[in-house]
Amino acid sequence: MQDLTRGREGRLIFAFALPMLIGNIFQQLYNTVDSIIVGNTLGKAALAAVGASFPLIFLLVSLIIGLTMGSTVLIAQFYGARRLDQVKKAIDTTYIFLFVAALVFTLLGLVTSKPLLKLLKTPAEIFPLAQTYLQIIIAGLIFTFGFNTISAVLRGLGNSKTPLYFLILSTLLNIVLDLVFILAFGWGVAGAAWATVIAQAVSFLLGQLYLARRFALFRFDLKKMTFDRTIFFTTVKIGLPTGVQQMLVATGMMALSRIVNNFNFGTAAVAAYTAAGRIDSFASMPAMNLSAALSSFVGQNLGAGKPERVKRGYLSTLGMAIAIALATTLTVALFGPELIALFNTDPEVIAIGASYLVIVGSFYPVFAWMFITNGVLRGAGDTLIPMFFSVFSLWLIRVPVAALLARRLGTNGIWWGIPVAWTVGALLGFGYFLSGRWRRRSLIQITEE
């Protein structure tokens, strides 16, 4: 457990974010390794099928991402105030709720997977493959939810290193299982899906075992677990707007997929969107993880009554994130075709994917600015206003711009909708940050009342 209320702000945040970043890189390798192996061994149709499933998977887990963020913030503030009894209640409440949510979302996902793929106008040649991959991944959602819960608890306690070790091991397992299931057993995209599910299950079980042995106070004990309604509603109040925001991002991805399919750009365009999206997800990780670290930093310092450290932490984190984003922009601009070719060597796929990276990659610094600003707001528990900004920039900017420009610029028009929306979202979030309205009383006081 790490105390973020003392020491140099930038150094603390970077050291806290680095294990999360490395861990998320390995976690993202689940999907990326699947895509590389599938794209090179099974062809662009199979790669497109995996990509067509991703927005739907993200939609199912996005709400939980937000709610676990709420748990992290609340646990961080309780821990910053040294209220260990409340930390235990917050952990128990999070476990109980997310276990029930995992069961509900799994059933919901299995029932709606086929209608949703039809809604996205998934091309007929990849529809059966996409449905198979999607349903297997959904069947393993309980492991995804479980590991996200454990990671949220550990981040709130200031421990971002331990989940990394589990992720490294499970990612290596995923790679091995991909090769075995796809190349040796010949299971196709189903093999890629089963490899991911098994690897995520290993991450979850190892994380749970670590908590049980390392922290006696926070040990999972079904008979002694308590569900605190006040803590639950406070967690929902903090996390629900972020969860809804993530769901809107997921539905935005679905809308872009539908635009790609609706204009009949073909399997090559879907495959290119899949490959570029995998690279895009790696490029966005530094800003996202620095933002998550900043949220924990802000939560602990507000809980400890040290708001003066928040501004210094924000500026330090923003500088780091933009510097990394500029380097990433240069990389994808220079080596875009080579990066896309890792997934599939079809010339049309490479050309479309490289254009995506040039257009979207040029705005990675703007994305970093937006995410770091939102990290402060989330850490303070003020997540509702950023949710409204997300709704506005996504549904009133990104989707309409993409649909409009697609008629004139083809797939490049769709890609331009993404950075335009980032720019609007960054300006709105920063304006709200400057207003200072996010500085509100500690969430600890709210739960006690």
Per-residue pLDDT band for 25 (boundaries 50, 70, 90) equals confident
* Helical axes 267-303 vs 364-379, angle rounded to 10°: 40
Q: Render the burial of 230-255: b for 16+ CB within 10 Å, e for the rest.
A: ebbebbbbbbbbbbbbbbbbbbbbbb
In eight-state DSSP terms, residue 259 is H
Concatenated DSSP letters of 64-94: HHHHHHHHHHHHHHHHHTT-HHHHHHHHHHH
**Among 96-100, 194-198, 237-241, 360-364, the least confident range:** 237-241
Question: What is the rounded distance in angstroms from the CA atom of residue 306 to the CA atom of residue 95?
Answer: 30
Per-residue pLDDT band for 380 (boundaries 50, 70, 90) equals confident
Bigger pLDDT: 433 or 157? 433
Please report, for residues 13, 130, 287, 293, 439, the alpha-carbon distance to residue 9 in angstroms, rounded to integers and kept in the order given. Answer: 6, 45, 17, 11, 19
Stretch 234-258: mean pLDDT, rounded? 79
**Among 49-58, 83-92, 236-245, 397-406, the least confident range:** 236-245
Contact 321/368 with Cβ under 8 angstroms? yes
pLDDT score of 421 more than 50: yes
Predicted local confidence at residue 441, as pLDDT: 47
Judging by beta carbons within 10 Å of its beta carbon (0-12, 13-18, 19+), is residue 327 exposed, middle or buried? exposed
* Helical axes 267-303 vs 44-80, angle rounded to 10°: 0
Question: What is the rounded distance in angstroms from the CA atom of residue 300 to the CA atom of residue 250?
Answer: 30
Contact 151/170 with Cβ under 8 angstroms? no
Q: Using the structure block, give the residue that is written with the tokens 């929902």.
A: 236
- The pTM score is 0.73
% residues pLDDT > 90 (the chain): 30
pLDDT score of 442 more than 60: no
Question: What is the rounded distance in angstroms from the CA atom of residue 368 to the CA atom of residue 357?
Answer: 16
pLDDT score of 197 more than 60: yes
Stretch 321-346: mean pLDDT, rounded? 94
Question: What is the rounded distance in angstroms from the CA atom of residue 176 to the CA atom of residue 34?
Answer: 11
The most distant pair of C-alpha atoms in the chain lies apart, rounded to whole Å, by 62
Tell me the one-letter amino acid at 378.
Answer: R
Stretch 52-71: mean pLDDT, rounded? 80
Please report, for residues 176, 362, 410, 427, the alpha-carbon distance to residue 424 in angstroms, rounded to integers and kept in the order given. Answer: 42, 15, 23, 5
Stretch 294-301: mean pLDDT, rounded? 84
Tell me the one-letter amino acid at 122.
Answer: T
Close Cβ partners of 398 (under 8 Å, ≥ 6 residues apart): 252, 256, 417, 418, 420, 421
Stretch 113-136: mean pLDDT, rounded? 90
Please report, for residues 26, 207, 357, 390, 428, the alpha-carbon distance to residue 281 in angstroms, rounded to integers and kept in the order given. Answer: 12, 24, 11, 18, 23
Contact 325/365 with Cβ under 8 angstroms? yes
% residues pLDDT > 70 (the chain): 94
Question: What is the rounded distance in angstroms from the CA atom of residue 435 to the CA atom of residue 244?
Answer: 24
**Structure token pair of residue 233:** 């509603």
Highest mean pLDDT among 43-52, 76-85, 187-196, 227-236: 187-196
**Structure token pair of residue 72:** 């992290």
Q: Using the structure block, give the residue that is written with the tokens 């009342």.
A: 449
Measured between its terminal Cα atoms, the distance across the chain in Å is: 28
Question: What is the rounded distance in angstroms from the CA atom of residue 46 to the CA atom of residue 128?
Answer: 10
Per-residue pLDDT band for 446 (boundaries 50, 70, 90) equals very low
Please report, for residues 41, 107, 175, 247, 290, the alpha-carbon distance to residue 32 in angstroms, rounded to integers and kept in the order given. Answer: 14, 26, 10, 22, 22
Q: Using the structure block, give the residue that is written with the tokens 């089963």.
A: 194
pLDDT score of 155 more than 80: no
Per-residue pLDDT band for 167 (boundaries 50, 70, 90) equals confident
pLDDT tens digits, residue range 64-104?
Answer: 777 777 788 788 778 777 787 888 888 888 888 888 888 99
Query: What is the rounded average pLDDT for all residues in the chain?
Result: 85
pLDDT score of 427 more than 90: yes
pLDDT score of 219 more than 70: no
